[in-house]
């Protein structure tokens, strides 16, 4: 994963692959993606027991909300 200040910076990167454009996620959309309930409990002592199983369903829902439920972001097996 590479982090850039802007989409323009990413496009000017010498190794930029136009086929990866679907991978761009705006900062507000990243907030949606990383603000799921299970992420809030990631450091909790009961995370594996109580929250880990909810992570991918929540992530899939968040990706759908931000319009990124595409092969680039979804795991090969769900």
pLDDT per residue over 29-60, tens digit each?
A: 999 999 999 999 999 999 999 999 999 999 99
pLDDT per residue over 2-12, tens digit each?
A: 677 788 888 89
How far apart are alpha carbons 60 and 10 in whole angstroms?
A: 25
Rounded to 5 degrees, what are φ and ψ at 6? -150, 165
pTM equals 0.75
pLDDT of 59: 93
């Amino acid at each position: 994963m590479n982090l850039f200040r802007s989409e323009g910076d990413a496009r000017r990167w010498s190794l930029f692959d136009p086929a990866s454009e679907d991978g761009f996620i705006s900062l507000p959309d990243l907030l949606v993606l990383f603000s799921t309930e299970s992420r809030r409990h990631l450091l909790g002592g009961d995370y594996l027991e109580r929250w880990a199983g909810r992570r991918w369903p929540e992530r899939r829902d968040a990706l759908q909300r931000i319009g990124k439920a595409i092969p680039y972001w979804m795991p090969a097996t769900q």
